Amino acid sequence: MACGSCGTTENGVPRGCKSNGNCGTGTCGSGSNKLAVFDWLSNMTLPSGQERFNIFEVRFKNGRKHFYKNPDNLPITMGDIVAVEGNPGHDIGTVSLAGELVKVQMKKREVSSDSEDVKKIYRKATQKDIDIWQKARAREEETQRRGREILGRLGLQMKLSDVEFQGDGNKATFYYTADARVDFRQLIRDLASAFSIRVEMKQVGARQEAARLGGVGSCGRELCCSTWLTDFRKVTTSAARYQQLSLNPLKLAGQCGKLKCCLNFELDTYLDALKPFPKQDVVLKTEKGEAVFVKMDIFKNHLWYTYKEERFKWFRLTLEQVLEIIELNKNNEKSATLEEYESDVVIPEKVDFEDAVGQDSLTRFDAPKKSKRNRNNRNKRKKKPVVGANNNQQKPNQKRKPQGNKQSNQQKIKQKGNQSTQKGEVKKNNKPRRNNRNRNNNNNQNGNNSEKK
Protein backbone atom coordinates (compact mmCIF):
# COMPACT_ATOMS: atom_id res chain seq x y z
CA MET A 1 0.00 0.00 0.00
CA ALA A 2 1.34 3.43 -0.90
CA CYS A 3 2.28 5.99 1.72
CA GLY A 4 1.26 9.64 1.91
CA SER A 5 4.29 10.89 0.01
CA CYS A 6 3.13 9.01 -3.11
CA GLY A 7 0.00 11.19 -3.43
CA THR A 8 -0.53 14.30 -5.53
CA THR A 9 -0.27 18.01 -4.87
CA GLU A 10 -3.09 20.53 -5.06
CA ASN A 11 -2.49 20.98 -8.78
CA GLY A 12 -2.70 17.23 -9.44
CA VAL A 13 1.06 16.78 -9.90
CA PRO A 14 2.44 13.52 -8.44
CA ARG A 15 4.33 14.29 -5.27
CA GLY A 16 6.40 11.16 -4.72
CA CYS A 17 9.51 10.78 -2.59
CA LYS A 18 11.94 11.31 -5.52
CA SER A 19 13.75 8.04 -4.96
CA ASN A 20 13.97 7.02 -8.63
CA GLY A 21 11.57 4.10 -8.43
CA ASN A 22 12.22 3.32 -4.78
CA CYS A 23 10.24 4.33 -1.74
CA GLY A 24 12.12 6.85 0.37
CA THR A 25 9.89 6.42 3.40
CA GLY A 26 10.02 2.63 3.53
CA THR A 27 6.28 2.04 3.81
CA CYS A 28 5.36 1.05 0.26
CA GLY A 29 6.90 -2.40 0.41
CA SER A 30 9.07 -2.04 -2.69
CA GLY A 31 12.23 -0.37 -3.84
CA SER A 32 13.91 0.86 -0.68
CA ASN A 33 12.70 -2.22 1.17
CA LYS A 34 14.78 -4.37 -1.16
CA LEU A 35 16.01 -7.28 0.89
CA ALA A 36 14.32 -5.80 3.95
CA VAL A 37 14.70 -8.27 6.81
CA PHE A 38 11.72 -9.10 8.98
CA ASP A 39 12.74 -8.90 12.61
CA TRP A 40 11.14 -12.09 13.85
CA LEU A 41 13.13 -11.81 17.11
CA SER A 42 11.61 -8.47 18.10
CA ASN A 43 8.98 -10.00 20.40
CA MET A 44 11.44 -12.36 22.12
CA THR A 45 13.25 -11.41 25.29
CA LEU A 46 16.99 -11.92 25.56
CA PRO A 47 18.41 -14.42 28.04
CA SER A 48 19.18 -13.06 31.47
CA GLY A 49 22.45 -11.17 31.67
CA GLN A 50 22.81 -10.70 27.89
CA GLU A 51 22.95 -7.18 26.51
CA ARG A 52 21.24 -6.13 23.33
CA PHE A 53 23.42 -5.84 20.22
CA ASN A 54 24.42 -2.19 19.93
CA ILE A 55 24.86 -1.92 16.13
CA PHE A 56 22.02 -0.88 13.81
CA GLU A 57 21.45 -1.07 10.08
CA VAL A 58 20.59 2.33 8.55
CA ARG A 59 19.09 2.80 5.09
CA PHE A 60 19.68 5.76 2.75
CA LYS A 61 18.58 6.70 -0.76
CA ASN A 62 18.07 3.93 -3.33
CA GLY A 63 18.33 1.17 -0.74
CA ARG A 64 21.93 1.94 0.22
CA LYS A 65 22.58 0.48 3.70
CA HIS A 66 25.37 0.73 6.26
CA PHE A 67 25.99 -0.32 9.86
CA TYR A 68 26.38 2.20 12.71
CA LYS A 69 27.21 1.91 16.40
CA ASN A 70 25.10 3.36 19.19
CA PRO A 71 27.74 4.39 21.78
CA ASP A 72 25.34 6.56 23.81
CA ASN A 73 22.76 3.77 24.15
CA LEU A 74 19.96 5.86 22.64
CA PRO A 75 16.45 4.30 22.66
CA ILE A 76 16.34 3.55 18.93
CA THR A 77 13.82 1.31 17.19
CA MET A 78 13.20 0.31 13.59
CA GLY A 79 11.80 3.16 11.50
CA ASP A 80 13.44 5.99 13.47
CA ILE A 81 15.19 8.76 11.52
CA VAL A 82 18.69 9.25 12.92
CA ALA A 83 21.68 11.52 12.32
CA VAL A 84 24.80 9.47 11.70
CA GLU A 85 28.47 10.20 11.15
CA GLY A 86 29.38 11.39 7.65
CA ASN A 87 32.57 12.23 5.80
CA PRO A 88 32.62 15.09 6.64
CA GLY A 89 29.60 16.31 8.64
CA HIS A 90 26.57 14.14 9.29
CA ASP A 91 24.03 12.26 7.22
CA ILE A 92 20.35 11.43 7.77
CA GLY A 93 18.98 7.92 7.37
CA THR A 94 16.27 5.54 8.55
CA VAL A 95 16.88 2.57 10.85
CA SER A 96 15.97 -0.53 8.85
CA LEU A 97 17.07 -3.30 11.24
CA ALA A 98 17.94 -3.65 14.90
CA GLY A 99 18.73 -6.41 17.36
CA GLU A 100 20.37 -9.77 16.92
CA LEU A 101 19.56 -10.07 13.22
CA VAL A 102 22.09 -7.32 12.50
CA LYS A 103 24.81 -9.84 13.39
CA VAL A 104 23.54 -12.12 10.64
CA GLN A 105 23.57 -9.31 8.08
CA MET A 106 27.08 -8.22 9.08
CA LYS A 107 28.30 -11.78 8.76
CA LYS A 108 26.67 -12.07 5.34
CA ARG A 109 28.40 -8.90 4.12
CA GLU A 110 31.66 -9.85 5.87
CA VAL A 111 31.75 -6.75 8.07
CA SER A 112 33.23 -7.08 11.56
CA SER A 113 32.00 -5.04 14.53
CA ASP A 114 35.51 -3.53 14.96
CA SER A 115 35.78 -2.39 11.35
CA GLU A 116 36.40 1.26 10.47
CA ASP A 117 33.36 1.16 8.19
CA VAL A 118 31.08 0.90 11.25
CA LYS A 119 30.60 4.55 12.24
CA LYS A 120 28.61 6.24 14.99
CA ILE A 121 25.03 7.35 15.50
CA TYR A 122 25.00 10.92 16.78
CA ARG A 123 21.35 11.40 17.77
CA LYS A 124 17.78 11.04 16.72
CA ALA A 125 17.05 13.49 13.92
CA THR A 126 15.33 16.68 15.03
CA GLN A 127 12.80 18.58 12.95
CA LYS A 128 15.52 21.00 11.89
CA ASP A 129 17.67 18.10 10.64
CA ILE A 130 14.74 16.69 8.68
CA ASP A 131 13.97 20.08 7.06
CA ILE A 132 17.59 20.54 5.93
CA TRP A 133 17.61 16.96 4.63
CA GLN A 134 14.43 17.47 2.58
CA LYS A 135 15.77 20.72 1.09
CA ALA A 136 18.96 18.92 0.07
CA ARG A 137 16.95 16.10 -1.53
CA ALA A 138 14.93 18.68 -3.48
CA ARG A 139 18.15 20.02 -5.07
CA GLU A 140 19.20 16.67 -6.53
CA GLU A 141 17.20 16.87 -9.76
CA GLU A 142 18.41 20.36 -10.69
CA THR A 143 21.99 19.47 -9.71
CA GLN A 144 21.91 16.43 -11.96
CA ARG A 145 20.62 18.46 -14.90
CA ARG A 146 23.28 21.16 -14.56
CA GLY A 147 25.96 18.53 -13.99
CA ARG A 148 25.13 16.95 -17.34
CA GLU A 149 25.45 20.35 -19.01
CA ILE A 150 28.95 20.73 -17.52
CA LEU A 151 29.82 17.22 -18.73
CA GLY A 152 28.74 18.10 -22.25
CA ARG A 153 30.81 21.29 -22.17
CA LEU A 154 33.94 19.41 -21.12
CA GLY A 155 33.34 16.62 -23.65
CA LEU A 156 34.04 13.75 -21.24
CA GLN A 157 33.05 10.22 -22.28
CA MET A 158 30.97 9.45 -19.21
CA LYS A 159 27.32 9.41 -18.21
CA LEU A 160 25.98 11.02 -15.05
CA SER A 161 23.24 8.70 -13.79
CA ASP A 162 22.32 9.96 -10.32
CA VAL A 163 23.13 12.50 -7.61
CA GLU A 164 22.77 11.94 -3.85
CA PHE A 165 23.09 14.75 -1.32
CA GLN A 166 24.30 14.18 2.21
CA GLY A 167 21.83 14.90 5.00
CA ASP A 168 23.47 18.20 6.03
CA GLY A 169 23.56 19.45 2.39
CA ASN A 170 27.32 20.08 2.38
CA LYS A 171 28.33 17.13 0.20
CA ALA A 172 26.98 15.43 -2.92
CA THR A 173 27.91 12.09 -4.46
CA PHE A 174 27.78 11.94 -8.26
CA TYR A 175 27.25 8.42 -9.67
CA TYR A 176 28.47 7.89 -13.23
CA THR A 177 29.13 5.15 -15.75
CA ALA A 178 32.00 5.06 -18.23
CA ASP A 179 33.45 2.47 -20.59
CA ALA A 180 37.03 3.63 -20.11
CA ARG A 181 39.11 5.52 -17.58
CA VAL A 182 38.13 9.22 -17.38
CA ASP A 183 40.15 12.14 -16.03
CA PHE A 184 37.49 14.19 -14.20
CA ARG A 185 39.70 16.48 -12.11
CA GLN A 186 38.53 19.55 -14.00
CA LEU A 187 34.95 18.30 -13.70
CA ILE A 188 35.22 18.19 -9.89
CA ARG A 189 36.48 21.77 -9.81
CA ASP A 190 33.64 22.98 -12.02
CA LEU A 191 30.99 21.13 -10.00
CA ALA A 192 32.36 22.38 -6.67
CA SER A 193 32.41 26.00 -7.88
CA ALA A 194 28.95 25.75 -9.49
CA PHE A 195 27.14 24.29 -6.45
CA SER A 196 29.44 25.37 -3.57
CA ILE A 197 29.53 21.85 -2.13
CA ARG A 198 32.00 19.06 -1.56
CA VAL A 199 31.96 16.68 -4.55
CA GLU A 200 32.57 12.93 -4.56
CA MET A 201 32.61 10.90 -7.77
CA LYS A 202 31.64 7.22 -7.66
CA GLN A 203 31.66 4.91 -10.68
CA VAL A 204 28.99 2.22 -10.96
CA GLY A 205 28.38 -0.52 -13.48
CA ALA A 206 25.56 -0.73 -15.99
CA ARG A 207 23.64 -3.19 -13.81
CA GLN A 208 24.00 -1.00 -10.71
CA GLU A 209 22.82 1.98 -12.73
CA ALA A 210 19.68 0.17 -13.82
CA ALA A 211 19.08 -0.89 -10.21
CA ARG A 212 19.29 2.72 -9.02
CA LEU A 213 17.13 4.19 -11.77
CA GLY A 214 14.53 1.41 -11.92
CA GLY A 215 12.27 0.57 -14.85
CA VAL A 216 10.00 -2.05 -16.40
CA GLY A 217 11.42 -5.05 -18.22
CA SER A 218 10.19 -6.86 -21.32
CA CYS A 219 8.23 -9.22 -19.07
CA GLY A 220 6.01 -6.34 -17.96
CA ARG A 221 7.25 -6.36 -14.37
CA GLU A 222 9.56 -4.05 -12.47
CA LEU A 223 13.26 -4.79 -12.86
CA CYS A 224 14.57 -7.51 -10.56
CA CYS A 225 17.73 -5.53 -9.80
CA SER A 226 15.67 -2.60 -8.49
CA THR A 227 13.26 -4.68 -6.39
CA TRP A 228 14.96 -7.69 -4.81
CA LEU A 229 18.20 -8.69 -6.61
CA THR A 230 21.44 -7.39 -5.12
CA ASP A 231 24.20 -9.85 -6.00
CA PHE A 232 24.85 -9.61 -9.73
CA ARG A 233 26.16 -12.93 -10.97
CA LYS A 234 28.02 -13.22 -14.24
CA VAL A 235 25.73 -13.97 -17.20
CA THR A 236 27.16 -15.56 -20.37
CA THR A 237 25.72 -16.60 -23.71
CA SER A 238 26.19 -20.26 -22.77
CA ALA A 239 23.18 -19.88 -20.45
CA ALA A 240 21.07 -19.03 -23.50
CA ARG A 241 22.52 -21.96 -25.47
CA TYR A 242 21.68 -24.45 -22.73
CA GLN A 243 18.08 -23.20 -22.73
CA GLN A 244 17.81 -23.47 -26.57
CA LEU A 245 17.23 -19.71 -26.95
CA SER A 246 18.02 -17.76 -30.08
CA LEU A 247 21.20 -15.72 -29.70
CA ASN A 248 19.51 -12.46 -30.55
CA PRO A 249 21.12 -9.62 -28.57
CA LEU A 250 17.96 -7.51 -28.83
CA LYS A 251 15.96 -10.16 -26.97
CA LEU A 252 18.65 -11.29 -24.54
CA ALA A 253 19.73 -7.81 -23.40
CA GLY A 254 17.99 -5.93 -20.61
CA GLN A 255 17.54 -2.27 -19.78
CA CYS A 256 21.21 -1.97 -18.85
CA GLY A 257 22.40 -3.23 -22.24
CA LYS A 258 23.89 -6.38 -20.70
CA LEU A 259 22.55 -9.91 -20.76
CA LYS A 260 19.42 -10.35 -18.65
CA CYS A 261 19.97 -11.58 -15.11
CA CYS A 262 16.92 -13.85 -15.43
CA LEU A 263 18.86 -16.11 -17.82
CA ASN A 264 20.49 -17.60 -14.74
CA PHE A 265 17.23 -18.24 -12.88
CA GLU A 266 16.28 -21.49 -14.68
CA LEU A 267 19.76 -22.49 -15.77
CA ASP A 268 20.21 -25.10 -13.02
CA THR A 269 16.93 -26.78 -13.99
CA TYR A 270 18.01 -27.01 -17.62
CA LEU A 271 21.43 -28.37 -16.67
CA ASP A 272 19.81 -31.14 -14.62
CA ALA A 273 17.47 -32.00 -17.47
CA LEU A 274 20.33 -32.10 -19.99
CA LYS A 275 22.40 -34.69 -18.11
CA PRO A 276 21.00 -37.80 -19.91
CA PHE A 277 21.14 -36.13 -23.37
CA PRO A 278 24.05 -36.97 -25.69
CA LYS A 279 26.40 -34.32 -26.99
CA GLN A 280 25.24 -32.39 -30.02
CA ASP A 281 28.33 -33.19 -32.09
CA VAL A 282 27.63 -36.96 -31.99
CA VAL A 283 26.96 -38.39 -35.49
CA LEU A 284 24.46 -41.24 -35.85
CA LYS A 285 25.39 -43.99 -38.33
CA THR A 286 22.41 -45.64 -40.02
CA GLU A 287 21.90 -47.93 -42.99
CA LYS A 288 20.91 -44.96 -45.15
CA GLY A 289 23.80 -42.75 -44.10
CA GLU A 290 25.12 -40.54 -41.33
CA ALA A 291 22.76 -38.22 -39.45
CA VAL A 292 23.60 -35.05 -37.56
CA PHE A 293 21.86 -33.17 -34.78
CA VAL A 294 19.48 -30.27 -35.57
CA LYS A 295 17.58 -29.30 -32.41
CA MET A 296 15.96 -30.74 -29.29
CA ASP A 297 13.02 -30.34 -26.95
CA ILE A 298 14.49 -30.84 -23.52
CA PHE A 299 11.40 -31.42 -21.40
CA LYS A 300 9.61 -33.61 -24.00
CA ASN A 301 12.79 -35.69 -24.56
CA HIS A 302 12.59 -35.27 -28.34
CA LEU A 303 15.53 -34.72 -30.70
CA TRP A 304 15.59 -33.88 -34.40
CA TYR A 305 18.21 -35.35 -36.75
CA THR A 306 18.79 -35.13 -40.48
CA TYR A 307 20.96 -36.90 -43.02
CA LYS A 308 24.11 -35.17 -44.14
CA GLU A 309 23.24 -35.67 -47.80
CA GLU A 310 19.50 -34.93 -47.45
CA ARG A 311 19.17 -32.00 -45.12
CA PHE A 312 15.76 -30.93 -46.38
CA LYS A 313 13.89 -33.33 -44.05
CA TRP A 314 14.16 -33.56 -40.26
CA PHE A 315 13.30 -36.69 -38.31
CA ARG A 316 11.91 -36.61 -34.78
CA LEU A 317 13.36 -39.22 -32.41
CA THR A 318 12.96 -39.87 -28.74
CA LEU A 319 15.84 -39.80 -26.29
CA GLU A 320 15.67 -43.57 -25.81
CA GLN A 321 15.92 -44.18 -29.56
CA VAL A 322 18.95 -41.90 -29.91
CA LEU A 323 20.72 -43.61 -27.02
CA GLU A 324 19.95 -46.98 -28.60
CA ILE A 325 21.47 -45.89 -31.92
CA ILE A 326 24.59 -44.56 -30.16
CA GLU A 327 24.97 -47.86 -28.30
CA LEU A 328 24.78 -49.78 -31.61
CA ASN A 329 27.36 -47.48 -33.18
CA LYS A 330 29.74 -48.15 -30.29
CA ASN A 331 29.56 -51.85 -31.19
CA ASN A 332 30.40 -51.01 -34.84
CA GLU A 333 26.82 -51.71 -35.93
CA LYS A 334 24.62 -49.52 -38.06
CA SER A 335 21.08 -48.90 -36.95
CA ALA A 336 17.93 -48.87 -39.02
CA THR A 337 16.94 -45.80 -40.99
CA LEU A 338 15.58 -42.73 -39.30
CA GLU A 339 12.26 -43.19 -41.13
CA GLU A 340 11.68 -46.45 -39.26
CA TYR A 341 12.50 -44.90 -35.92
CA GLU A 342 10.28 -41.88 -36.58
CA SER A 343 7.31 -44.11 -37.41
CA ASP A 344 7.48 -45.56 -33.90
CA VAL A 345 7.38 -42.14 -32.20
CA VAL A 346 4.01 -41.44 -30.62
CA ILE A 347 3.21 -37.73 -30.78
CA PRO A 348 0.57 -36.74 -28.22
CA GLU A 349 -2.34 -34.78 -29.60
CA LYS A 350 -2.44 -31.15 -28.67
CA VAL A 351 -5.38 -30.43 -26.40
CA ASP A 352 -7.28 -27.43 -27.67
CA PHE A 353 -9.71 -25.30 -25.75
CA GLU A 354 -12.40 -27.39 -24.06
CA ASP A 355 -15.82 -26.06 -23.12
CA ALA A 356 -15.71 -27.75 -19.73
CA VAL A 357 -17.58 -25.21 -17.62
CA GLY A 358 -19.82 -23.59 -20.20
CA GLN A 359 -17.25 -21.13 -21.49
CA ASP A 360 -17.19 -19.90 -25.05
CA SER A 361 -14.38 -20.34 -27.52
CA LEU A 362 -11.33 -18.17 -27.04
CA THR A 363 -11.35 -17.20 -30.71
CA ARG A 364 -14.99 -16.14 -30.86
CA PHE A 365 -14.03 -12.48 -31.25
CA ASP A 366 -11.53 -13.07 -34.06
CA ALA A 367 -14.08 -13.55 -36.87
CA PRO A 368 -15.79 -10.34 -38.07
CA LYS A 369 -19.45 -10.02 -37.21
CA LYS A 370 -22.02 -10.03 -40.02
CA SER A 371 -24.45 -7.17 -40.17
CA LYS A 372 -27.99 -8.16 -39.20
CA ARG A 373 -29.40 -5.33 -41.31
CA ASN A 374 -28.05 -6.82 -44.55
CA ARG A 375 -29.36 -10.22 -43.54
CA ASN A 376 -32.86 -8.88 -42.88
CA ASN A 377 -32.91 -6.99 -46.19
CA ARG A 378 -31.87 -10.13 -48.01
CA ASN A 379 -34.70 -12.11 -46.39
CA LYS A 380 -37.23 -9.42 -47.30
CA ARG A 381 -36.16 -9.57 -50.92
CA LYS A 382 -36.67 -13.31 -50.97
CA LYS A 383 -40.12 -13.09 -49.39
CA LYS A 384 -41.37 -10.15 -51.53
CA PRO A 385 -43.70 -11.48 -54.35
CA VAL A 386 -42.90 -10.50 -57.93
CA VAL A 387 -45.72 -8.59 -59.62
CA GLY A 388 -46.99 -10.22 -62.82
CA ALA A 389 -45.37 -13.58 -62.24
CA ASN A 390 -47.25 -16.86 -62.06
CA ASN A 391 -47.76 -18.13 -58.57
CA ASN A 392 -46.78 -21.74 -59.27
CA GLN A 393 -45.37 -22.59 -55.88
CA GLN A 394 -46.81 -25.74 -54.46
CA LYS A 395 -48.64 -25.55 -51.16
CA PRO A 396 -48.08 -28.34 -48.66
CA ASN A 397 -51.70 -29.63 -48.73
CA GLN A 398 -52.28 -29.44 -52.49
CA LYS A 399 -51.40 -32.05 -55.03
CA ARG A 400 -48.91 -31.31 -57.72
CA LYS A 401 -50.43 -31.10 -61.20
CA PRO A 402 -48.75 -32.16 -64.40
CA GLN A 403 -46.56 -29.57 -66.00
CA GLY A 404 -48.06 -29.85 -69.45
CA ASN A 405 -50.48 -26.98 -68.97
CA LYS A 406 -47.78 -24.96 -67.28
CA GLN A 407 -45.46 -25.30 -70.26
CA SER A 408 -48.22 -24.40 -72.68
CA ASN A 409 -49.07 -21.30 -70.65
CA GLN A 410 -45.45 -20.22 -70.63
CA GLN A 411 -45.29 -20.62 -74.44
CA LYS A 412 -48.37 -18.43 -74.80
CA ILE A 413 -46.84 -15.76 -72.61
CA LYS A 414 -43.65 -15.77 -74.65
CA GLN A 415 -45.60 -15.44 -77.90
CA LYS A 416 -47.52 -12.44 -76.57
CA GLY A 417 -44.27 -10.85 -75.43
CA ASN A 418 -42.67 -11.30 -78.86
CA GLN A 419 -45.69 -9.75 -80.58
CA SER A 420 -45.60 -6.72 -78.28
CA THR A 421 -41.87 -6.15 -78.87
CA GLN A 422 -42.33 -6.39 -82.65
CA LYS A 423 -45.02 -3.72 -82.61
CA GLY A 424 -42.85 -1.52 -80.35
CA GLU A 425 -45.52 -1.35 -77.67
CA VAL A 426 -44.72 -1.99 -74.03
CA LYS A 427 -47.72 -3.00 -71.95
CA LYS A 428 -47.77 -2.95 -68.19
CA ASN A 429 -50.15 -5.29 -66.44
CA ASN A 430 -51.25 -3.53 -63.30
CA LYS A 431 -53.86 -6.17 -62.56
CA PRO A 432 -52.59 -9.47 -61.23
CA ARG A 433 -53.18 -12.39 -63.56
CA ARG A 434 -55.55 -15.09 -62.59
CA ASN A 435 -54.10 -18.29 -61.37
CA ASN A 436 -53.95 -21.19 -63.85
CA ARG A 437 -55.29 -23.47 -61.18
CA ASN A 438 -58.46 -21.38 -60.84
CA ARG A 439 -58.84 -21.21 -64.62
CA ASN A 440 -58.61 -24.99 -64.92
CA ASN A 441 -61.07 -25.46 -62.10
CA ASN A 442 -63.56 -23.14 -63.80
CA ASN A 443 -63.25 -25.00 -67.10
CA ASN A 444 -63.87 -28.30 -65.37
CA GLN A 445 -66.96 -26.93 -63.64
CA ASN A 446 -68.38 -25.59 -66.94
CA GLY A 447 -67.83 -28.96 -68.61
CA ASN A 448 -69.64 -30.79 -65.84
CA ASN A 449 -72.55 -28.42 -65.99
CA SER A 450 -72.92 -28.94 -69.74
CA GLU A 451 -72.94 -32.70 -69.30
CA LYS A 452 -75.65 -32.47 -66.66
CA LYS A 453 -77.84 -30.46 -69.00
Across the range 98-110, mean pLDDT stands at 88
Instruction: Give first-to-last CA distance, the chain, whole Å.
Output: 108
What pLDDT, on a 0 to 100 scale, did the predictor assign at position 78? 87
Residue that terminates a domain, selected from 176, 210, 244: 210
Element (H, E) at 194: helix 185-195
Instruction: Enter the pTM of the model.
Output: 0.60
Which residue from 306, 309, 302, 300 is spatially nearest to 284, judged by alpha carbons?
306
What pLDDT, on a 0 to 100 scale, did the predictor assign at position 378? 64
Across the range 294-318, mean pLDDT stands at 91
Q: Please indicate, yes or no, if residue 192 is contained in any of the structural domains.
A: yes
Residue that terminates a domain, selected from 275, 306, 325: 275
Higher-confidence residue: 227 or 56? 56
101-105, 313-317, 339-343, 379-383: which range is least confident on average? 379-383
- In tens, the pLDDT along 241-256 reads 999 888 898 899 998 8
Confidence of residue 187 (pLDDT cuts 50, 70, 90): very high
Whether residue 143 is predicted with pLDDT greater than 70 in this model: the reply is yes
Chain centroid to Cα 170, Å, comes to 43
Within 294-423, residue ranges assigned H as helices are 319-330, 338-343, 372-383, 404-423
- In tens, the pLDDT along 337-388 reads 999 998 888 877 776 655 555 556 667 777 777 666 666 666 666 655 555 5
Q: Please indicate, yes or no, if residue 441 is contained in any of the structural domains.
A: no
* Structural domain boundaries, residue 237: 233-275
- In tens, the pLDDT along 47-84 reads 777 778 889 999 998 778 899 999 988 899 888 999 99
- Same-domain pairing of 147 and 203: yes
Q: Please indicate, yes or no, if residue 367 is contained in any of the structural domains.
A: no
Q: Please indicate, yes or no, if residue 67 is contained in any of the structural domains.
A: no
- Same-domain pairing of 162 and 194: yes
- Same-domain pairing of 266 and 293: no
Higher-confidence residue: 366 or 4? 366
Give the helix, strand, coil percentages of the chain, each rounded to 5.
35, 15, 50
**CATH number of the domain bearing residue 194:** 3.30.300.20
Which burial class, exposed, middle or buried, applies to 32 when counting CB atoms under 10 A from its CB (0-12, 13-18, 19+)? buried
- Same-domain pairing of 180 and 245: no
* Count of domains observed in the chain: 4
Confidence of residue 309 (pLDDT cuts 50, 70, 90): confident
Q: Please indicate, yes or no, if residue 305 is contained in any of the structural domains.
A: yes
